[in-house]
Structure 1
Amino acid sequence: MTRSARRTRRTSRTLQVAGAGAAALLALSACSSSDDDSSTKSDTSESSSKKLSGTVTVFAAASLKESFTTLGKDFEKAHPGTKVTFNFGGSDSLAAGITGGAPADVFAAASPKTMKIVTDKEDAAGAPSTFVRNQLEIATLPGNPDKVSSLKDLTKSGLKVVLCDKTVPCGAAAQKALDASKLKLTPVSYEQDVKSALTKVELKEADAAVVYKTDVKAAGDKVEGVDFPESADAINDYPIALLKDAPNAEAAKAFIKLVQSADGQKVLTAAGFLKP
């Protein structure tokens, strides 16, 4: 065999070995890629299987009734198998219920002061966050027959005015506005939550009430709203918190996330709430 023939034969063998090596590497790579894909698919499948279920119990200020009811329906639609139940009322009464052991997942209060009742007892699972704000407005009978145009007009003799109790956020805010204006007002009754105060006007049992803008808006043509400048100095922040002993913590976190989301804020601002 000539040198040229031997050289050609060696070159051919070298190329065959190299080709076999490359094929082996490609096979290993494909196998590894397949394993990674399988792992990814497994992780995705595991993640998607963790669906929310069960009941979320929300204790919320009475003024949140309309907007939170809407958000509750939105939440149930987005998470089939869940149910959101609400306990609406005066924030102070709700806070007392929570610290007294009432089972609840979420607390949404109408003021930091009432939320503090819960956090002071270490019944919240973290720091509360403000999600909206609310401003006061005077609610009068339709057509405003008593010509109420200011906070001072509520002190007119013979005018039946209703206020929220001073322990309730809407009542504390109203008192703050009255004090700032150096006005003294004796209402015909103090109500335990803002909806009760508004109902007195709707039923014509009172001529006017100091409530929130959101409540006046929700009442539609049953009442007429009157703005007053002093309300700007008595705006309430609304905090929300996950409760420490929440029976359904994961779903509760998701509900709070909805409230704070762009979609949730859209519902709340449409109801008349101010952005935090």
Structure 2
Amino acid sequence: MRAVAAVGAIALAAVGCGTDEAAEPTAGDQVTGTVTVFAAASLTETFTELGKQFEAAHPGVKVVYNFGASSALAEQIKQGAPVDVFASAAPKNMQQVVDAGEITAEPVTFVRNRLEIAVPAGNPGRITGLADFGKTEPKIALCAEQVPCGAAAKTVFEAAGVNPQPDTRESDVKAVLTKVTLGEVDAALVYRTDVQAAGSKVEGIDFPESGKAVNDYPVAPLAKAPNSAAATAFVDFVNSEQARAVFVEAGFDKP
């Protein structure tokens, strides 16, 4: 395996959900203040849009996000970061927070996601499938194995019998995607929702082994949430039909 490097870049972009309707009021429609949400990097676009919709439905609330690798977010929560809601890209990282006593409610899986090969527009490296990741010629980017997208990649490589030869392993899926959009690598494994969010900057290539590592995304309010009312209302909204429409449009699977 060639030398690896880590870059913590996260690409932030907001996408529309295909509806201009405000969220229907819920039991938490009187909530006010700030709700702090720690969410997996692959939720950047969808949660950014949902935050706007949630604020529109609850004028007294402001949603503040911290997007990053689920493993890193879980560690920050365990160390005492003041958080209202945690949305993870894998049950493993959510369970770590539950085991630490930071979450007492039952986490709910709200979407599922799977990997897709991402290549720069025009596919200059002529990547055709997962087998190319085992070759030394193309430049390859993968997520670090301790984060959900890296763990999923390890599973699909084992299923395909491929020994990957990455040039770089990044701290989260958005950092990997950035390598592709900038043309710094010939191919990478990211979530298919990230390929869709990147638009014309990248092309996606499906592969059959992706079904071997479908990621469940759980969400839950923190037991010591500084704004517990807003936390509960936000989690309810994430699990609403209105939010589901945003996720489906972005390419996520229903739970």
The TM-score, its normalising length taken from structure 1, stands at 0.81
How many residue pairs were aligned? 229
Q: Matched residues in 2 for 1:180 and 1:125: separation?
A: 35
What's the offset of the Cα at 1:49? 11
Contact map agreement 2:138 2:186 (CA 8 A) in 1: yes
Q: Is 1:203 paired with 2:144?
A: no
Spell out the pairing of 1:98-137 with structure 2 (5 A cutoff).
Answer: 98-137=77-116
Between stretches 179-188 and 212-221, larger displacement belongs to: 179-188
Distance 1:137 1:85 in 2: 29
Deviations 1:58-86 (A, max 9, x none): 00000000000000000000001110000
- Structure 2 residue aligned with 1:228: 207
Structure-2 residue corresponding to 1:257 = 236
Bigger CA radius of gyration = 1
Offset of residue 116 of structure 1: 1.1
Which structure 2 residues correspond to residues 123-162 of structure 1 after superposition, within 5 A? 123-162=102-141
| Code of the aligned partner of 1:180 | A
Are 1:80 and 2:59 matched, yes or no?
yes
- CA distance in 2 between partners of 1:228 and 1:256 (Å): 33
Structure 2 residue aligned with 1:97: 76
Query: Which residue identity does 2:105 align to in structure 1?
Result: G
Deviation of 1:203 after TM superposition, in Å, equals: 1.0
1:163 counterpart SS class: strand
Most deviating of 81-90 and 117-126:
117-126
SS where residue 123 of structure 1 aligns? coil
For the Cα contact (< 8 Å) 2:118–2:189, is it kept in 1?
Answer: yes
Tell me the secondary structure at the aligned position of residue 77 of structure 1: helix
In structure 1, what is the Cα distance between the partners aligned to 2:214 and 2:78?
26
Q: CA deviation at 1:240?
A: 0.4
Kindly state the Cα deviation for residue 223 of structure 1 after the two structures are TM-superposed.
0.7
> Which residue of structure 1 lines up, in the alignment, with residue 151 of structure 2?
172
Aligned residue identity for 2:50: L
The TM-score with structure 2 as length reference comes to 0.88
Unaligned 5+ runs, structure 1: 1-47
Q: CA RMSD in A?
A: 1.3
Does the alignment pair 1:182 with 2:140? Answer: no
Distance 2:202 2:138 in 1: 16
Residue-by-residue CA offset, 1:121-161 (whole Å, 9 max, x unaligned): 01003111100000100000101122222111222331000
Residue 204 of structure 1 and its aligned partner are, at CA, apart by 1.2
- Checking the alignment, whether the CA contact within 8 Å between 2:90 and 2:217 is kept in structure 1 is yes
- Percent of aligned pairs sharing the same letter: 55
- Picking from 61, 66, 91, the partner of 2:40 is 61
SS at match of 2:193: helix
CA distance in structure 2 between the partners assigned to 1:115 and 1:187 by the alignment: 28
Q: Which amino acid aligns with 2:145?
A: K
Q: 1:54 to 1:198 in 2, by over 3 A?
A: same
The superposition leaves residues 203-251 of structure 1 with CA deviations (integer Å, 9 ceiling, x where unpaired) of 1111111000000000001111000010011110000011011001111
Regions of 4+ moved over 4 Å: none
**Mapped partners of 2:238, 2:181: distance in 1:** 29
Q: Give the AA of the match of 1:223.
A: V
Instruction: Quote how far apart the aligned CAs of 1:186 are.
Output: 1.8
CA distance in 2, matches of 1:120, 1:110: 17
